[in-house]
Chains A and B, each alone.
Chain A
Amino acid sequence: MSENIIEMKNIGKSFNKTKVLNDVNFNLKNGEVHALVGGNGAGKSTLMKILTGVYTKEEGKIYIEGSLVDIKNLNDAENYGISIIFQELSLVPTLSVAENIFLNNEPKKNKSKLINDKKMIEETKKLLNDLELEIDPKIRISELSVGYAQMIEIAKAVSKDAKILIMDEPTAALSENETTLLFDFIDKLKEKNVSIIYISHRMEEIFKITDRITILRNGKKITTVKTSQIDMDKLIEYIVGKNLEEKFEWKPRKNSFKKDKPVLEVKNFSSFKSNLNDVNFKLFKGEILGVAGLMGSGRSEMVETIFGLDDKKTGQILLDGKEISIKNAEDAMDKGFALIPEDRREEGLILDHSVKENILLTVFDETKSRLLINNNIGKDITNNYIDKLNIVTDSMHKKVSLLSGGNQQKVVLAKWLATEPRIYLLDEPTIGVDIGAKTEIMEIIREIANSGKSVLVISSELRELMAVSDRILIMSEGKVVDSFERSEIRSEEDLQHAIQN
């Protein structure tokens, strides 16, 4: 038997005449954790979808344990022992946790065709236990936050006892704690000699858990290296194709802002529905306020509540010192708020519409000259953002659903940035975004604040949070438990510590 459990040779693939994979070679060794990295739209997900039979390749060959195989669909892949966690959640929101984990793999009562629900729920409990998740197996997926849904997705993939496990950005929606849980679990899998392909835009993770790294850029393979033989700078250079000057460093703000009258003040915010418990904070003009906390600490719930998406709240919102009531999202937008939601597929995008239509949705009125829509204004706005955020798409008329995951996220950002509100509420704005665009987004956030607007940004990536925030709130169990000036925080560990307590 060869040492490579998988060999993909000279793989080529195009969509509508655009070549997205070009002569790509990829090998996975038995028992290794192999990182697959590259910018948004580089072709990582496409390569993995070819390996699992979701897409058909146009060129090339795939060998598993040395023999040539033809994988036509997911069931074939599963028969070869390959299991995948897709980047886009592949859970059915209306079904329960257990039903999802065992979808298409339902345990049967002996000798009959009937589903054994009891066994299904027991096995789910066991599995969730292994992942240290206390989630009721009978709860519907639609009731879970994105992070938990992501954990269920992971549980679903590992439930199949695969020999080869593909993880396409499994940690994108996870915070540090869950990520650590996942890494512990990956260690356990390694002991069982499971081979893992790991896709992520988080560099630290790559260095922490992978043995080798393959870099793709614009559909071509750049190289494969041992993780121990490359450093972060070099890796980033391979990914972006040039030396990235500024990484995530905190830059003291050019325009200092006055902290006398807050633009936004939230007082005694509570909500039974989302377990918010007496939240208080202030946001000043020109300030970037970071919010850190564990998964389920109420960060998303807090901004959603401010944005008028929760009608069961109590407490006050003061805008420029005057109490206001926000009834719904439209009302919030009228009052100068914008929320970039965490769950982009559910809340952020109309997937069947084009890039342009999505970006312009929020600024429709501005594209009109007199009564009619002026197409040129719209095109200009769109092109501007495609450029700025480096959105990889063949044209602005491409359906958003056909973009790569990170590029979809960039469209969400563009859409809200275009509205030019006074107060930005950003919930995990860089989920799934590549390292090049991340620095760009950080810079945009700084620009926004410099122009006198206020930004509240939630992020599970502490480096990012520390790079932009002037002040950081720590949330826990629905409360704001602490608040630090950026200058008080010396290191990421400091912050991590504050979050854990």
Chain B
Amino acid sequence: MQSKIKGRFRFDWQQNIVFIAFAFVFIFFAITLYKDGFLSVFNIANIFRQTAIISVMAIGMTFVISAGEIDLSVGSITALSALSTALVLDAGLGIIIALIVGLATGMFFGVVNGFFVSQIGIPSFLVTLGMMGTIRGTAMWLTDTKPIPILNDTYNFWFGSGNIGLIPILFFWMILIGLIGYVVYNKTTFGRHTLAVGGNEKAAKYTGVKTSLIKFKVMALSGLMAGLAGMLYAGRMQSGRYTFGEGDELSVIAAVILGGTSLFGGMGTIIGTLVGALLMGVINNGLIIAGLDVSQQMIIRGLIIILAVALGKKK
């Protein structure tokens, strides 16, 4: 018997570089910014607050990218879902209705994206690039660019502003969505088939996987997650505003790719995504504490992202 193939032990750089990068950056800031309170409970809580919303979108995006697609409309969706949630609460319709409307807004646009991608066959890049403008425009038009304040304290507490003990409520959202995402991604047929579609669509099809349905579902899921993210923005800012989430799509995609998910689809990790989002959060936070101005922050952040991804490529 000579057919023998063992899994050679190989450290998967692409999937693990994010942990190393995270540890490195964290320790670096912890030492250099110790005196500025980087490690203070307040600051750590702050990092989670800043990271959680991106994480929620990034979980959805991990599915999308794993399926070999992309969703550029997530940032715009958050704005519209935050606004619609705020409007519902403003009208005094209560949290339940607000929840339904906020999520439905996100889901609706996800479904529209999914329809064009899976049924009409337009590349997701184009569909969501178009939708990105359309949705943000709708958000501007909806209230004539006016922000809508949210005065419902219960809502604000549970959807963004609250703390339980020292821990921000957003942290729990991040963990909850992360956990669900992990199970769905790794333990269900939907997750498995998502990877199969991204890995080799034809092969998946020839194995009876309903590839269009999978594409439809990942786009819808991403919309739904963006809807939730918008509601969290609303709770955190205690208002809805058309500017929410501007540029978030890029942070979200960066978090996913940094986390070790392949930009070409077929491979990915949810935990990596969460750490990728945290890494971005830590970098942002550290640079601000270090007193760098916005232009310097942008330069350094960009470089760190490229460096981390480049290291991940190393065999």
Contacts and interface: CB of A to CB of B under 8 A. Distances in A.
Partners in one complex: yes
Given A94-B262, A104-B193, A75 B5 contact: no
29 contacts: A54-B206, A74-B208, A86-B206, A88-B206, A90-B203, A90-B206, A91-B200, A92-B203, A92-B204, A93-B266, A94-B198, A94-B200, A94-B265, A94-B266, A95-B199, A99-B195, A103-B192, A104-B193, A106-B189, A115-B189, A133-B5, A135-B4, A136-B5, A136-B7, A138-B7, A139-B5, A143-B7, A178-B3, A296-B2
A75 B2 contact: no
Contacts of A106: 189, 192
A5 B207 CA distance: 23
Contacts of B271: none
B209 interface: yes
Given A114-B183, A115-B192, 4 more contacts: A78-B208, A92-B200, A103-B196, A134-B6
A interface: dominant SS: loop
Given A88-B202, A90-B206, A135 B196 contact: no
A94 B199 contact: yes
B196 to A, nearest CB: 5
Contact of A74 (B7, B189, B207): B207
A241 to B, nearest CB: 31
A93 B199 contact: yes
A132 B1 contact: yes
Interface string A69-101: 000011100100000001011111111000100
A242 interface: no
B205 to A, nearest CB: 8
B201 to A, nearest CB: 9
A103 B204 contact: yes
B209 A103 contact: yes
B35 interface: no
Contacts of A92: 195-196, 199-200, 203-204, 266
Interface string A165-184: 00000000000011001000
Interface residues of B, number: 29
| 3 tightest A-B CB contacts, nearest first | A94-B266, A94-B199, A92-B199
Contact of A134 (B5, B196, B262, B267): B5
Interface string A101-113: 0011010000001
Interface of B: 1-7, 183, 187-189, 192-193, 195-196, 198-200, 202-204, 206-209, 262, 265-267
A499 to B, nearest CB: 11
A151 B33 CA distance: 56
B5 A104 contact: no
B3 A103 contact: no
Contacts of B199: 92-95
Size category, A interface: 35 or more
Given A94-B267, A95-B199, A144 B5 contact: yes
Interface string A276-298: 00000000000000000011100
Interface in A1-35: none
Interface string A289-322: 0000011100000000000000000000000000
A148 interface: yes
Nearest to A115: B187
B192 to A, nearest CB: 6
Query: Which of B192, B199, B207: most chain A CB closer than 10 A?
Result: B207
Contacts of B192: 95, 99, 103, 106, 115
Interface in A134-164: 134-136, 138-139, 143-144, 148, 151, 156
Interface in A325-346: none
A466 B203 CA distance: 36
